[in-house]
């Protein structure tokens, strides 16, 4: 996954002239805070250095993950043509950029962001929509927001105290005209937060669009957990700031997409990397009956083997 050229160019302008050593130092500090899921009352992106490090090393990954989740929504709801989007905990507006990438019908975006440093950068990046309004406010407090066709909450739940999450999900669902998409890091803890959100949304009457092909309890049990992977192209600066050698990284993520309208229900979704041999493809599937199981497609089965061989982690098996 490559960033849209206009976003890539805006990021390059923002980072122009910043010494690599400063970016690397800030990227290290940010990565430690994210890894430890630090909650010390300070926002992770509280200053310019952290905000620029986010642009360099995290935005490409959160864009790729959110984009994959939105692609699943578009696949489940070919009639969905959102005109308005609410991006809660927008950071530099990553999820809104991903939404613009998927739906040319979008006309306006409302982005709520509590950190002045990353909000200022997001404003300068220039989300390409006719109407863009940034709200300088704290999620969880009374904010004057209206219903939007699409509501996004990408990589935010892990920054909120556990006690605040349920109220925020309920509030965002009331603000959802059609679809709500929540994305989290693809860790066991991220999966648990998504499971909790899923339960709340199902109780509130939402239809689950993706990734689950059913609304039964999740069939996975710890130490297993549901997550997916998105391959992200790294810019030269990204590689240098992270000390990486390969021109890509794999971002593990988990998401839930819920809607007021039902979507097309697949037979199953591939929930692990396929295992392929000369004689067969084995897919770990989450199925419409609510169970998860390995399914083996033998080469001698012909067409079903050919179809299975083309499927990847995260894809659906059509009915």
Ligand X SMILES: C[S@@+](CC[C@H](N)C(=O)[O-])C[C@H]1O[C@@H](n2cnc3c(N)ncnc32)[C@H](O)[C@@H]1O
Binding residues for ligand X (CB under 6 A): 43, 45, 59, 62, 66, 89-91, 94-95, 112-115, 118, 138-140, 154-156, 159-160
Q: CA geometry: angle at 261 spanning 267 and 75, to 5°?
A: 45
What distance in Å separates the CA atoms of residue 298 and residue 303, rounded to the nearest whole number? 10
Residue 45 beta carbon to ligand X: minimum distance, rounded to whole angstroms: 5
Pick 114 or 211: Cβ nearer ligand X:
114
Give 76 or 139: the residue with its C-beta nearer to ligand X.
139
Do 230 and 61 contact (CB within 8 A), yes or no? Answer: yes
Encoded tokens for 283:
């897919």
- Which parts of 120-161 are beta strand (E)? 131-136, 148-154
Tell me if 154 sits within 8 A of 111, measured CB to CB: no
Rounded-to-integer distance, Cα 248 and Cα 49, Å: 23
Nearer Cβ to ligand X (30/285)? 30
User: Which residue's CB comes closest to ligand X?
Assistant: 91
Q: How many Cα neighbours within 13 Å face the side chain of 174?
A: 9
Least distance (Å) between residue 51 CB and ligand X: 8
Closest distance between ligand X and the C-beta of residue 74, in Å?
18
The residue among 160 and 200 lying less far from ligand X, judged by its C-beta, is 160
**For ligand X, the closer CB: 45 or 292:** 45
Q: Quick one: which of 33, 25, 28 has its CA closest to 159?
A: 33
Minimum distance between the CB of residue 109 and ligand X, rounded to whole angstroms? 12
Nearer to ligand X, 1 or 218 (CB): 1
For the bound state, the minimum distance from the C-beta of residue 62 to ligand X, rounded and expressed in Å, comes to: 4
Separation CA 227–CA 242 (nearest Å):
23
Shorter beta-carbon distance to ligand X: residue 61 or 272: 61
**Tokens standing for residue 292:** 């998860």
User: Mapping DSSP to helix (H, G, I), strand (E, B) and coil, where does residue 20 land?
Assistant: helix
Smallest distance from ligand X to CB 187, Å: 13
**What is the rounded CA–CA span in Å between residue 185 and residue 58?**
11
Cβ 246 to ligand X, closest distance in Å?
22
Query: In this structure, what is the dihedral angle of CA atoms 99, 101, 103, 105, given to the nearest 10 degrees?
Result: 100
């Amino acid at each position: 996954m490559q960033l849209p050229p206009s976003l890539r160019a805006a990021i390059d302008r923002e980072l122009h002239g910043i010494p690599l050593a400063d970016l690397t130092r800030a990227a290290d500090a940010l990565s430690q805070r994210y890894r430890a899921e630090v909650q010390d009352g300070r926002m992770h992106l509280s200053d310019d250095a952290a905000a620029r490090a986010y642009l360099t090393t995290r935005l490409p990954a959160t864009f790729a993950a959110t984009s994959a989740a939105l692609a699943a929504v578009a696949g489940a709801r070919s009639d969905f043509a959102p005109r308005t989007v609410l991006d809660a905990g927008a950071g530099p507006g990553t999820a809104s950029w991903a939404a613009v990438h998927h739906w040319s019908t979008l006309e306006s975006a409302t982005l709520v962001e509590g950190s002045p440093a990353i909000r200022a950068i997001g404003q300068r990046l220039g989300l390409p929509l006719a109407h863009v309004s940034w709200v300088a406010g704290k999620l969880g407090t009374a904010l004057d927001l209206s219903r939007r066709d699409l509501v996004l909450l990408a990589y935010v739940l892990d920054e909120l105290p556990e006690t605040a999450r349920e109220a925020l999900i309920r509030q965002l669902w009331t603000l959802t005209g059609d679809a709500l998409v929540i994305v989290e890091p693809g860790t066991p803890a991220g999966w648990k937060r998504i499971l909790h959100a899923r339960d709340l949304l199902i109780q509130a009457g939402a239809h689950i669009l993706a990734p689950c092909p059913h609304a039964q309890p999740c069939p996975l049990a710890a130490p297993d957990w549901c997550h997916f992977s998105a391959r992200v192209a790294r810019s030269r600066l990204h590689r240098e700031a992270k000390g990486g050698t390969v021109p890509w990284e794999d971002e593990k993520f988990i998401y839930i997409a819920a809607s007021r309208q039902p979507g097309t229900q697949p037979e199953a979704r591939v929930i692990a990397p396929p295992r392929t041999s000369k004689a067969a493809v084995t897919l770990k599937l989450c199925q419409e009956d609510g169970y998860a199981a390995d399914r083996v497609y033998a080469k001698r089965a012909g067409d079903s083997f050919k179809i299975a061989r083309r499927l990847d982690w995260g894809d659906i098996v059509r009915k």
